[in-house]
Structure 1
C-alpha cells in the first residue's frame, strides 16, 4: 500500500531520535519474530543513509498497522522511483545516501509533475532544509546536516503537494485487465519488465531518467494489481467524461477500501460468497452469478480488483440502460 503521511512522519521522527541510524530504526519498524532477526535485510557495509533508503522501499511494500486506502499515500512503486533518483544524483565520490539542496532539486526536475506542483515541492523542500539547519545548530550530533537531506524528508515534502490525479474510466480498467492477462509469470506474479513498461507509459519521470523504472516481482498479483490501479488513477493523462463515466481518485480509494473490507480471507480477491455480502449500495451487484460468468476472466470463482471495478462499471451501465 506504500507510505502515507502518518507513516512517513513516524519514520522521520525515528530518524531524529536515533540520529538517522538505520541499525536502530529497523527494529522499531520491523519487529523481531520468534526471537529471530528482523525480517528486514540490508547490506551491513552500506553507508547509513543508503540503508535508510533500503528500509523505505521495504516498508512501502509491507502491510503496516497504519495502512489505510482512504489516506493520500506514496505507492511502493513511487518510493522505488524516488529512492532510485536519490541514488542517481548521489555523487559517486560521496555515495552517502544524502543529497544537498541542488541535488534534491535535480530529483524534482527529473519528475514530470506540473510546473506549479514542482514549485510547491521545492518550497516544501526549502522549508525542511531550514528546519534541518535549526536542528543542526541545536544538536551537532545530528547526522543529517543543514546542507543535506535524506530520502524520507523528500517523501514528507512530496506528500504535502502530491496531486490526486484524474481518476479512472472503464477503458483504463479494461487496459489493466488486458495487461494482467498477458503478463503473468510464476503462477501468481506479474512480469517486472512488463510493470516497468506499464509505468513508463504513465511518464512519471523524464525520459532521460527512465533507467530508474526497475521493479521486482515479489508481490503477489492480487495486491500488485490493487497498487497499479491506484497509480493509474493518479497518473493517467486520459481520464475524461467525454469517454464515459470517470471515478475520481478518491472514489477509487473508496472502492479499494470496500474491496479490502469484504475480502474476508485477505487474499486480495473476492469470492462469489464475499461479493454477495456487500451492503454498500454503490457497489452492490444485483446478479452476482451473471457478473461472475461475464467478468471472471481467470475462471477461478474469484474477482481481482480490476474485475470487481469492471463489475461496478457494468452494473452502472445496466442500471442506466434500464432508466433510459
Structure 2
C-alpha cells in the first residue's frame, strides 16, 4: 500500500515538475475541440462541461451571453489556461492569435455560425501571403462544398453547406499557417527591451506596447488594427513566451544575409527546454535552476558569468528572451569553434599534401 502511494506521489511530482505552461491552442487541442463541437451538435453548455472535464479545468459562462459570445469566451479561456497536453513543439495559435481571429469572426457575424461570405470576409481582413491565402480559401471551399454524385446522370453537383463555426475556422487556419522565418538577434533584443522597459503594475507588459508589437507584424490590414488591443491575462514572463513564438512565426525581416537566423522549430525547442528547466514554473529561470540543467552541469562561476552576460534587466532571473539569446550565442560560439577546427584541419591536410609532393619531386630527381 505504501509502495503504491509512493509511486502515485512520484508520478504526480514528475507530471507537475515537467508540466508545460499553456501558450494558446495547439493543433491537437483545436482538433479535439472541433470534434467535441460535432459530438455535442454545437450545444455550448455540454461542450463546455466535456472540455473542462477532459482538461481538468473549472469554467462557468457569464449570464446574458449569447451562443457566439459563449463560444468565444470558452476558446479564450482554454487558450489562456494550462492543459494536460500543452506542447510548444506543435503548430499552434497563441492566446493573442485566438483573440484576434475570434474578434474578426465576431466582427462579421454575431451568431457563432458563419456562412461562406462571412468567412471569406475574415480571410480578406488578414495580411496573408498570396500562396497562403490561396491554400486557406481552398480549405474553406472544402468545408462549404459538398460533392454529391448523381447515379443517373453521373454528374457532380456542388451544394454549399450553410455555416461553419469558430473552432473549425481555427483548425483550418492551422493547416495552412506557415512556420515563419524565425528569429534573428535584432528581434530577440527588441523582445528583451519590451519586457525590460514596458512592464506595468501587477507584472504585465503594457497592452499599448503589445498592440504596437502586433502592428509591426502586420497580421491584419490597417482598418482592423483596433482588434490588436488585448486584455492582460497572464503575467509578463508568460506573455513574453507567447510573443517570442509569434515573432518567429510572423517575422518578415529575418534574412540570413544579415546574420544568423534561428528557425521557428529551433525557437520551439528552446521554449520546450526552458519549460523543463523552469522547475517552479514561474516563467523564469534563476541561478539554482540553471545549475540544475543536467546537460550542462554549470558550476557557480559559470552561472555567475552567464547572468552577467545575459541577465539584461538585472533581476537575477533569465526570462525566455534572455535565455534564447544565451542559447543562440552559445550555438554561434560552437559553430565558430567548429569552423576554426575544420579550417585548421584543412590547413594541416594541405600542408601534409604539399610536404608529400615535395618529397616525391625530390626522390624523382
Alignment of 1:37-76 (within 5 A): 39-76=58-95
1:99-144 Cα offsets, whole Å, 9 max, x none, are 11011011011111111111111111121224699xxxxxxxxxxx
Give the 5 Å matches for 1:189-204.
189-204=204-219
The residue number in structure 1 matching 2:168 is 153
Is contact 2:182–2:254 with CA below 8 Å preserved after alignment? yes
Change (3 A) 1:320 1:5: closer
Structure 1 residues 243 and 33: alpha-carbon distance in aligned structure 2, compared to 1, 3 A threshold? closer
Alpha-carbon distance between aligned partners in 2 of 1:24 and 1:243, rounded to the nearest angstrom: 52
Q: Secondary structure at the match of 1:269?
A: coil
Aligned twin of 1:171: 186
2:228 pairs with 1:206: no
CA distance in 1, matches of 2:136, 2:38: 22
C-alpha offsets along residues 227-266 of structure 1, whole Å, 9 cap, x if unaligned?
0000000001111112221110000001100111111111
Q: Closer, same or farther in 2 for the Cα pair 1:159/1:108, shift >3 Å?
A: same
The answer to whether the 8 Å contact 1:101/1:147 transfers is yes
Instruction: Quote the residue 1:255 is aligned against.
Output: 270
- The within-5 A match list for 1:109-188 is 109-130=124-145, 146-188=161-203
- Show CA shifts across 1:23-50 (max 9, x none): 111122224999xxx7424333222233
CA distance in 2, matches of 1:284, 1:17: 54
- Kindly state the Cα deviation for residue 75 of structure 1 after the two structures are TM-superposed: 0.9
Q: Hey, what's the Cα distance between the residues in 2 that align with 1:252 and 1:321? A: 20
Say which is worse superposed, 269-278 or 151-160, in terms of deviation. Answer: 269-278
Which is worse superposed, 199-208 or 314-323? 314-323
Contact 1:189 1:220 in 2 (8 A): yes
In structure 2, distance between residues paired with 1:211 and 1:284: 49
Tell me, yes or no, if the aligned pair for 1:278 and 1:284 is still in contact at 8 Å. no
Change (3 A) 1:285 1:7: farther
1:269 partnered with 2:284:
yes
Structure 1 residue ranges without an equivalent (≥5): 134-144
Structure-to-structure mapping, 1:284-299, within 5 angstroms: 287-299=302-314
Task: Work out the CA distance in 2 between the residues paired with 1:278 and 1:163.
Answer: 32
Deviates more, 1:161-170 or 1:7-16: 7-16
Per-residue deviation, residues 241-296 of structure 1 (Å, max 9, x unmatched) = 12221110000001100111111111111111222233457x99993211101222
Post-superposition offset of 1:320: 5.4
Q: Does 1:15 align with 2:37?
A: yes
Change (3 A) 1:20 1:298: same
User: What's 2:156 paired with?
Assistant: none
Separation of aligned partners in 1, 2:35 and 2:81: 19
- Secondary structure of the 2:114 match is coil
Distance 2:199 2:231 in 1: 14
Asked if 1 retains the 8 angstrom alpha-carbon contact of 2:143 and 2:161, the reply is: no
Partner Cα distance (2:269, 2:215) in 1? 26
The change in CA–CA distance for 1:55 and 1:31 in structure 2 (over 3 A counts) is same
RMSD: 2.6
What's the counterpart of residue 50 of structure 2? 28
The match for 1:138 is none
Distance of 1:163 and 1:284 partners within structure 2 = 40
Shift of 1:298: 3.2
Partner SS, residue 270 of structure 1:
coil
Q: State the aligned residue count.
A: 305
Q: Which has the higher helix share?
A: 2
